[in-house]
Amino acid sequence: MIRPIMKTKQKTVFTCQSCGYQSPRWLGRCPDCNTWNSLVEEFSSAPSVSKAGPDSFRVEYSKEKPQPLNAIKTINEERFSTGISELDRVLGGGVVTGSVILTGGDPGIGKSTLLLQASDSLARDKKVLYVSGEESIKQTKLRADRLGSASKNLFIVSETNLDSIFDHINTLKPDFVIIDSIQVIYKEDLSSSPGSVSQVRLCGQELTFMAKKSGISVFLIGHVTKEGNIAGPRVLEHMVDTVLYFEGESQRSFRLLRAVKNRFGSTNEIGIFEMTGKGLKEVSNPSGIFIEERPKDVSGFAIVPTIEGTRPLLVEIQALVKAANLAVPKREARGIDYNRISLITAVLERRVGLEFGRFDVYVNVAGGVRVVEPAVDLGVAIAVASNHRDIALNPDCVVMGEIGLGGEIRAISHIESRLMESQRLGFKQAIIPKGNLSAAGKPRLELIPVSYLKEALEAVFRH
Ligand code: TYD
Ligand code: MG
């Protein structure tokens, strides 16, 4: 009897590209992370992790016995300077051996440039393997020439297959590996395409595993989606030791490198760079650079001394309030949390009596900086009110303070260093929360302590 050849159907599974959740059928919204339209069909052929990776990196699970914690000898982690002090600062004082560092950022922001520069200086003492999956060796060489790289211990390979990368690592035995980028690396056992959650997760897992086992430090470069997350792998952020984000506008020359997770140092530390014709240069006195272009005698601007990590940074808050064209007025925020704008306009409406129901409100932090701390609230409120009433602020005045729903101005941290920095940059007056007055020290600025938003607005518009 002749039997028809039955085509075996390959099993597929739908994977959420945002969190990695898997479902046997398609769903419009991921039930785990609530992202819409994020499920993508993939072949379900995930190999078990224990089988993955070349032999030399396989763990022998049975050998590790639990030990009492106090019997384990403390060893200080070994750190290496990248030769770029702003990068070292963000890493918490250099790269820790065997650590995995994920660097994310928009395309063209300078991730490859930064890591090639760091590789070059690391390669003066150590061996570095730069895996360029996105660009050819020639392209990387051109870039390296432009940056003036010359270390002979810096090795480049253009490769995207993870197992071949492991082979190169095994033969070369480098101290540092740079993967540019994790989204183009793939593992052959998996049928899903490079960049999918399954691929990124598995490749990330194996590289992390290799780093821990061998003491090789690994830098992963990751692309960022439109929403600002590192594409696909939220899973990857949990896995690695350090997550750095490169921020800034690619058309402007300043770049901020921010640590959002760091197992070996403090987060919120930032590094500031300037993109020049010869790569990224460190900015050693960054505090004033974001306020240089501020217009004077124009309404809608306020200067706020913010604290980034351990250092003060003066930023310019810009606001524009205009009559709304649509029934629902627009609120737009750049460099600051959107919800804070809604909250601050609500407080201005209820506690000060300014009307926003028929006005669009736009708020922007100049220079592509992102500010997360609440000390910026008062600056936002004052910039918005200033534009709404079309009264310009005293250009020599800085403002700071958190706003509560009652319209009260709450005390903030690091008041003294904020004031010192403002004074250093030539400001003559500061509006501060009353609760901070005793901690403010004796700066040469004129201090105006305020308890309520209304009081603060009266004080700034008196001029
Ligand atoms: P790149 O590092 O390729 O960005 P990413 O890897 O994050 O995608 O940066 C590319 C941009 O930087 C590109 O627009 C050119 C610019 N650039 C300079 O201005 N000066 C330089 O010395 C280099 C190498 C790049
Ligand atoms: Mg790149």
More confident position, 57 or 210:
210
Residue 275 Cβ < 6 Å to ligand 1: yes
Strand extents, DSSP E, 235-269? 242-247, 254-262
The full set of domain ranges for the chain reads 12-45, 79-284, 288-462
Residue nearest to atom 2 of ligand 1 (CA): 110
Q: Which ligand is nearest to the CA of 103?
A: 1
User: Of 453, 398, 387, which is closest to residue 422 (Cα–Cα)?
Assistant: 398
Q: What is the C-alpha to C-alpha distance for residues 417 and 397, in angstroms, rounded to an integer?
A: 16
Q: What is the C-alpha to C-alpha distance for residues 344 and 326, in angstroms, rounded to an integer?
A: 21
Segment holding 275, helix H or strand E: strand 270-276
Residue nearest to atom 15 of ligand 1 (CA): 108
pLDDT tier for residue 430 given thresholds of 50, 70 and 90 = very high
Assess whether pLDDT exceeds 50 at residue 49: no
What is residue 463's predicted lDDT score, i.e. its pLDDT? 63
Residue ranges of the alpha helices (H) in 375-414?
A: 377-389
Counting Cβ atoms within 10 Å, is residue 16 exposed (0-12), middle (13-18) or buried (19+)? Answer: buried
Q: What is the C-alpha to C-alpha distance for residues 190 and 411, in angstroms, rounded to an integer?
A: 54
Show Cβ contacts of residue 192 under 8 Å, excluding neighbours closer than 6 positions.
15, 42, 43, 198, 199
Q: Which ligand is nearest to the CA of 246?
A: 1
What is the CA 65 to chain-centroid distance, rounded? 38
Q: In this structure, how many other beta carbons lie within 10 angstroms of the beta carbon of residue 266? A: 12
CATH architecture of 79-284: 3-Layer(aba) Sandwich (3.40)
Average the pLDDT over each of 42-51, 297-306, 333-342 and give the range with the smallest value: 42-51
Assess whether pLDDT exceeds 80 at residue 84: yes
Residue 109 Cβ < 6 Å to ligand 1: yes
CATH architecture of 288-462: 2-Layer Sandwich (3.30)
Q: In this structure, how many other beta carbons lie within 10 angstroms of the beta carbon of residue 50? A: 9
What is residue 233's predicted lDDT score, i.e. its pLDDT? 52
Q: In this structure, how many other beta carbons lie within 10 angstroms of the beta carbon of residue 42? A: 21
Tens digits of per-residue pLDDT, 21-32? 888 899 999 888
User: Of 386, 404, 463, 390, which is closest to residue 428 (Cα–Cα)?
Assistant: 463
Among 84, 102, 112, 113, which residue has the most ligand 1 atoms within 8 Å of its CB, making it the best to mutate?
113
Residue 279 Cβ < 6 Å to ligand 1: yes
pTM over 0.75: no
Residues with CB under 5 A from ligand 2 (ion): 112
